[in-house]
Chain A
Amino acid sequence: MRKALVAAAIFAALGSGTASAQGTIKIGIILPYSGQFADGAAQMDNAIKLYVQQNGDTVAGKKLEFIRKDTGGIAPDVAKRLAQELIVRDKVDILAGFLLTPNALSAGDVSAEAKKFMVVMNAATSIITTKSPYMVRTSLTTPQVNASLGTWAYKNGIRKAYTMHSDYGPGIDAEGAFSKAFKEAGGEIIGTVKMAVANPDFSAYVQRAKDLNPESIYVFVPGGAQPAAFGKALAERGIDPQKIKVMGQGEITDDSALKSMGDGALGIITAFHYDPNHQSAMNKKFVADFNAAYGRNPDFFSMGGWDGMHAIYAVLKKTNGDADGEKLISAVKGMAWESPRGPISIDPETRDIIQTVYIRRVEKAGGKLVNVEFDKVENVKDPVKAAMKK
């Protein structure tokens, strides 16, 4: 009886499988379109749409078809189910999107088992790409950015730092990478505070930092409402980033955070791989087009989505429209291109992104606060996977 059931199910599934038309390639996009992380998903999805709009929906003679699925937030069980359904029911050839680490990790299993090409367009924990040999990442890794910042800080005369981070996966990773690099360079961490993840009010933590009057403060908080709240707490407690150096990953000074923080943010130093204020002709066009279409600046989510689409288009051209997972992943290895964020490439060994990390400072330009790049570290690989190899 049981065997008959299984046989019936598989037969039925295979039967409906041949329906997929010859001339199309299906791409399943899994993102948290609703819930707490909806804005990141919207920004990424906008970039995906813009790319398709500008480059046409036909690659190597095949028409691209997109199927979008919502995970509703951090939900690895849902993400995995959606990935399974996309492959089993919708017969997609490529999985893409993935804003959140837990979701990317669980869908990675599906990519590995079904041998499907998977493009991680944001989720930034190092180990994600080890989950499936068919996975490539076009965003960043948290250690990539934060370790670069740690080394840079010491090289540029900062000797002591107080670190503050949200007590959850990305925060722990980011602070860990920063402190490790900073200490290896010779710096000293004079104290660390872990902050509650669901935390609307930073005054207590900032007061603690102020009591120590450190030379510099390193901070990591999740993007969204918290960077602005943190910046306001700094201003309110009278910490001036131009005197006590305040450093962190790029989210803390993203567009919407800067708008709410006001002049108190002047002087905050961040390390990141992309900012809409990046000075290049390619980026200027990208930002202008994005603004024309969606009425706001792109952000790093958009950048991950944009380059993810670029990778998909480029590999399909290389394989001449063959969407076999094996062929696509070998095509993407070592691929290098010029992106609005600068030159990037895919590490042939880890399938992870290699890129320039920019060091920026918040300055006022034309009455608006912007992140101004004043230094950079080129060709940065993910330090965690590099260390694992040794």
Chain B
Amino acid sequence: MTAAAAATSPHAWLQAQARWNRTEIAFWLATLLPFWLFPDYLVLASQIAITALFALSLDLILGYAGIVSLGHAAFFGLGAYTAGLAAKYGWGEPLTGLMLGALAAGIVGYAASFIIARFRHLALIMITLGMGLLLAELANSLHWLTGGTDGLQGVKMWPIFNKFRFDLYGTTAYSYSLIVLFLCFLVARRIINSPFGLSLRGIRENPLRMPALGASSRAHLRKIYTISAVLAGIAGALLAQTTETVSLEVLGFQRSADVLVILILGGAGRLYGGLVGAIIFMVARDQFSGNTPQFWYFWIGALLIAVVMFLPNGILGGLAKLSSAWRSRA
């Protein structure tokens, strides 16, 4: 926060934050480049967009409200299974399927938020982890419904608006995922740059002081947790629809852990952190695993270590620090 901004009223500061700057506009324009520059990579691009949305949903609770979750895949998976089941049982319309996925994740997220908002620190991490694993085990034992380990069979999507079918090249998948990501990003951006978003950050910094100022911290936490679950559910539904597959690993620990790593890599507590993290992580993984399918973990691990050492607080955090250092020198 710069000194000038702090001197004015909080509302003015929020308004300043809410203005679109050139880097942001350039970023979103750049997301269109794959259509021309890498038309062979659109399927990957669509899955990056979906992961980015998932990471964004985690950022809302982790980066802005201080809720570290190791079980966020629960909501991703709920969205995926809901959308997948809808399509399997005769309703393959994507947009309504997406809303169903969001709804299911939102309802469970709201219910879970009553537990989540009461805990902090390691207990919170482990409770989210435990609830995520319980849900994964539940999906495994509901073999008749979910198809168990083999995955849900018979997911067939209808074309979007009855016109754009999901093609092998991934053109529809990427266009669809990108548009949904952008819309969800707008929502997240609006939330963060609202007084509600500001009080969330207050809770993150000091959970005891905010209630004293009259902001009910638990109600706030519940609200943001539910919103985050909805976004995660949308991401999961997107994956189910664009790949027409759903399997147990959408709920798995690995997915929860990966998205956490992706967010921290990009920079938690920054709107673009999850997006940048998803791009870097997935492109790096694709390249490394293409070259050394057996040992790519080594290179991705080295990348993470290097980022921590040279760009603390994630890539965006590190870059921001470097650029402000450079500016203050100039």
Contacts and interface: CB of A to CB of B under 8 A. Distances in A.
Contact between chain A and chain B defined by CB under 8 Å: yes
Contact of A102 (B40, B43, B151): B151
A169 B150 contact: yes
A170 B169 CA distance: 32
A147 to B, nearest CB: 18
A101 B243 contact: no
A74 B247 contact: yes
Interface in A156-200: 167-170, 172, 196-197
Contacts of B35: 5, 8-9
Interface of A is mostly: helix
Contacts of A84: 43, 168-170
Interface string B208-245: 00000000000000000000000000000001000111
B39 interface: yes
B297 interface: yes
B318 interface: no
A13 B43 contact: no
Interface string B96-127: 00000000000000000000000000000000
B36 interface: yes
Interface string A320-354: 00000000000000000000000000000000000
A77 B39 contact: no
A170 B148 CA distance: 10
A10 B167 CA distance: 10
B149 A170 contact: yes
B243 A70 contact: no
A33 B289 CA distance: 9
Contact of B39 (A8, A72, A78): A8
Contacts of A38: 294
A88 interface: yes
Interface in B11-38: 35-36
Interface of B: 35-36, 39-44, 47, 137, 140-141, 143, 147-151, 153, 164, 168-172, 175, 239, 243-245, 247-250, 254, 289-290, 293-297
Interchain residue pairs A-B with the least CB separation, the first 7: A169-B149, A89-B40, A70-B293, A33-B293, A12-B39, A76-B245, A9-B39
Interface of A: 2, 5-6, 8-10, 12-13, 16, 31, 33-34, 38, 41-42, 68-70, 72-78, 80-81, 84-85, 87-89, 101-102, 105-106, 109-110, 113-114, 125, 127, 167-170, 172, 196-197
